[in-house]
Amino acid sequence: MLKIGSYSFSSRLLLGTGKYPDFETQKKAVDASGSEILTFAVRRMNIFEASQPNFLEMLDLKKYTLLPNTAGAKTAKEAVRIAKLAKASGLCDMVKVEVIGCDKTLLPDPVETLKATEELLKEGFIVLPYTSDDVVLARRLEELGAHAIMPAASPIGSGQGIMNPLYLKFIIEQAAVPVIVDAGIGTPSDAMIAMELGADGVLLNTAVAGAKDPVKMALAMKMAVEAGQLGFEAGRIPKKETATASSPLEGLSVN
Amino acid sequence: MKLQINGEVLEVPKSLQTITDLLNHLELQNQTVIAEINDEIISNHKQDETAIKENDKIELVRFVGGG
């Protein structure tokens, strides 16, 4: 089970809801992924277009826990406002703190992320900060009381996969709260590597939404996360420099 | 009554008294819409008891796809 704050989840795959080709494909992809946590952004309504379709309205909200993000925020203050707007809906009390500090890399601003996390924890939110793979920052976020740490595998939407497995491993090993590898996942094998490293979950969006067949990719990601988790639990063999025969060396039949 | 909604000035009937009235007027009643009036965030369950008045600066937001 993945435990975040007061919540428990059997799925360790968290799915973003952006950039799908259409709602029908998205709905099928969400189903195929088995995800129980869906991320959303908060944006202004187009007030002159009442019938604008919205994915949220298509979901059975009893089946999913919403994880709104604070994307768009560049300061802690903006992130706190977006989080409060999301919570005012009455639909959620979890938030993904996302305070971008660099437009080119979309890497988070560590100082503002820390401030926003602190403020939102005071306000009673269940806080999941999106962070870089900075080991010390991850520890500082946890010390503040963050309910999970979400380090990036590589830049958002890049599909570059796990760029720094060593630092992710350091973060995973030191953390007493769940570590969810967020952003940069491109393939099922990326997600599996994250889980084999010991991550408690994976959050991805573009890898599924942008795939040629999002529904099939969602299923592949589900299976990869499950396989990676099983592999981690099973415990891998140590790597050796030399070969070790798998078949017995004795009893060879010689004619 | 003039309101400033999401940065646009909008003329609405004077009969609108609450956020719920406004959302009905804009035909947004079937969606999850979160309102902020003059920088104060209003819980959705208080929309029907929160009054709106001339020149209010109103933000209406919703959940959209995001990662």
pLDDT truncated to tens, each residue of chain A (255 aa)?
A: 999 999 999 999 999 999 999 999 999 999 999 999 999 999 998 888 877 778 888 888 899 999 999 999 999 999 999 999 999 999 999 999 999 999 999 999 999 999 999 999 999 999 999 999 999 999 999 999 999 999 999 999 999 999 999 999 999 999 999 999 999 999 999 999 999 999 999 999 999 999 999 999 999 999 999 999 999 999 999 999 999 999 998 998 887
Say if B64 is an interface residue toward chain A (CB within 8 Å). Answer: yes
Give the separation between CA A201 and CA A33, rounded to whole angstroms.
13
Give the tens place of pLDDT for each residue, B6-20. Answer: 999 999 999 999 999
Q: A207 by DSSP, 3-state: which?
A: helix
Measure B11 CA to nearest chain A CA, in Å: 13
**pLDDT computed for residue A49 by the predictor:** 80
Question: CB distance A156–B67 less than 8 Å?
Answer: yes
CATH classification of the domain holding B18: 3.10.20.30
**pLDDT computed for residue A54 by the predictor:** 84
DSSP state of B50: -
DSSP state of B30: T
**Selection from A233, A235, A225, A167 nearest residue A201 by Cα:** A225
**pLDDT computed for residue A180 by the predictor:** 98
Say if B58 is an interface residue toward chain A (CB within 8 Å). Answer: no
Q: Which domain holds residue B22?
A: 2-62
**pLDDT computed for residue A48 by the predictor:** 82
Domain-located, residue B67: no
Measure A83 CA to nearest chain B CA, in Å: 11
How would you label B1-24 residue by residue, b for 16+ Cβ within 10 Å and e otherwise?
bebebbeeebeeeeebeebbbbbe
Domain-located, residue B46: yes
Say if B61 is an interface residue toward chain A (CB within 8 Å). Answer: yes
Question: CB distance B64–A42 less than 8 Å?
Answer: yes
The answer to pTM > 0.90 is yes
Question: CB distance B41–A85 less than 8 Å?
Answer: yes
Give the tens place of pLDDT for each residue, A123-144. Answer: 999 999 999 999 999 999 999 9
**pLDDT computed for residue A53 by the predictor:** 78
Question: CB distance A40–B5 less than 8 Å?
Answer: no
Contact B25, B12 (CB under 8 A): yes
Question: DSSP H helical segments within chain A, as ranges?
Answer: 23-33, 76-88, 110-122, 135-144, 165-174, 188-196, 206-209, 214-234
Report the domain count for chain B.
1
Say if B9 is an interface residue toward chain A (CB within 8 Å). Answer: no
- Chain B contacts in chain A segment 11-50 (CB below 8 A): 16-20, 26, 39-45, 47, 50
Domain-located, residue B20: yes
Question: CB distance B67–A85 less than 8 Å?
Answer: no
Q: Is the dihedral of CA A92, A19, A75, A171 positive or negative?
A: positive
CB neighbours of residue A143 within 10 Å: 8
Sheet holding A126-131, edge to edge: A94-97, A126-131, A150-151
**Which residue from B28, B32, B60 is facing A56, i.e. has the nearest CB?**
B32
Helix (H) or strand (E) holding B60, with range, is: strand B57-65
Catalytic residue numbers of A, as ranges: 96
CA distances A112 to A37, A103, A146, B48, Å, are 25, 15, 14, 35
**pLDDT computed for residue A190 by the predictor:** 98
Give the separation between CA A215 and CA A209, rounded to whole angstroms.
9
